[in-house]
Amino acid sequence: MMAIEGKLSFGVKKMNGEQANHLGGGGAEVTSVALQEEEVLRSHLWLCRRRRCSGGGGAEVTSVDLQEEEVLRSHLWICRRRRCSGHICGSAGGGAPGGRHNGRRMLSFRHTYIFVYNLLQFCGHTWILTNIIARFLSFGKDGLVDMFHSVGLVMSLCQLLSFLELFHIADGIEKARLLPRLIQVTQKNVLLMTVILLEELQSQSMVCLLFLLWNLQDLLRYPHELLCLMDRPSVSMLWSRYTLWIPLYALSAFTEGFTLYTALPHISPVSPPSNAQNSSLTTPTHLHFVLIGYFPLLLLGASVTVWQLLKERRHYLDKWNKKRK
C-alpha cells in the first residue's frame, strides 16, 4: 500500500511539473512521453478504484482514497486534453494564451471553410447528376440535346471553384498530392472551355457521358472528405474513394480524348475566308494545333495520375488496416 501511494505521489508531482512546462514552454508537439504519462495515470487510477472497491483487505474507504482518485481523474483529463489539442498549441506559436486562442480561431475558420467548400461542391454535383438522370428518364435521348444548356452553368462554376483545391493543398488545408490534382483540374477545364467554344459539341452524347463520369468521381470524393472532416470516416467510403475512383478516372480520360478528337473536324487549320458562314471555319485557327498538341499531354497526365492514385490507394488502405489491427 505504501509503495502504491509513493508511486502515486511521484506520478502526481511529475504530472504537475510537466503541466507547468506545457503551459509556459511554448507549444511543443505531443510526444511519446505524454502518452506514457497518460498510461501511468490510467494504471494508477485503475489501482485506486480497485483498492476502493475491494476495501483494501477490509479497511473502510477514507477521504484520502477519494481525494487521490479525484486528483488522478483531473490530471488524466488534463493530459487527454493536452494530447488532443496539442496541434492547436503548436500551430499558435509562442505558447502564450493569446497565441493558443488565435490558433483555435484559425483552425476553426480553416475547418469551417473547407467543410463549406466540400459541401457546396457536393450539392452542386448532386444537382447536376440528378438533372442529367431526370432529363434522360423523362425525354430519353432527346433530353441530351439541350442538356449542356441546363447544367452547363453549374458545371462551369463547380470546375472553376476546383482551382481553389490547388491552394488548399499548397496551404496544407487538404492532405493530398498537388500534381495529380493539378492534372485533373487542368484536364477538366481545358475540355470544358473547348465545349463552350464549339457549339457543335454541346449537343453530342459524349459530352453528357463525360459530365456523368465527372459527377460520379466527385460524388465519391466529396462525401468522403466531409465524413473525414466530421471525424466519422467510413471504411466503405474510403474503399470507394480510392478504388472505384481509379477506373472512373481512366474512363473519363479516354472520353475526354475521344471528345477532343470529335472536335477536330469542326476546327479548320487554315485561315477562314472573310465571307465564311460555317461555324467550324469561324473558330480561331490556332486552336486546332493546340488540341493536337494536347493529346500527348493528356495521355502523359492520365498515366501519371493513375500511378499516383494507385500509390494513394495502397497508402490509405494500409493505414486503415493498421488502425484496425
Residue with cell 481553389: 164
Q: Calculate the CA 201 to chain-centre distance.
A: 33
Neighbours of 93 (CB within 10 A): 13
The reported pLDDT for the residue numbered 84 is 55
**Residue-level pLDDT at 290:** 75
Mean pLDDT for all residues in the chain: 74
Active-site choice (249, 294, 312, 316) = 249
pLDDT tier for residue 237 given thresholds of 50, 70 and 90 = confident
Which residues does 77 contact at the CB level (< 8 Å), separation at least 6? Answer: none
222 vs 36, 165, 215, 237, CA distance in Å?
Answer: 37, 12, 10, 10
What residue has cell string 471553384? 161
Cell numbers 492520365: residue = 302
What pLDDT is attached to residue 118?
94
Cα 216 from chain centroid?
A: 16
117 flagged as catalytic = no
Q: Cα separation of 133 and 143, whole Å?
A: 10
Query: Is 12 or 144 the better-scoring residue by pLDDT?
Result: 144
- Write b or e for each residue in 239-259: b if 16 or more Cβ atoms lie within 10 A of its Cβ, otherwise e: ebbbeebbebbbebbebbbeb
C-alpha–C-alpha distance, residues 125 and 251, integer Å: 18
Of the given ranges (37-51, 86-100, 180-194, 211-225), which has the lowest mean pLDDT?
86-100
Q: What value does the mean pLDDT take over residues 148-175? A: 90
For the chain, the structural domain boundaries read 2-86, 107-267+276-324
Q: Clarify whether 256 is annotated catalytic.
A: yes
User: Which tens digits make up the pLDDT trace of 85-114?
Assistant: 543 333 333 344 444 455 555 568 888 999
Catalytic residue among 37, 69, 256, 294: 256
Per residue in 180-194, pLDDT tens?
Answer: 889 889 989 988 888
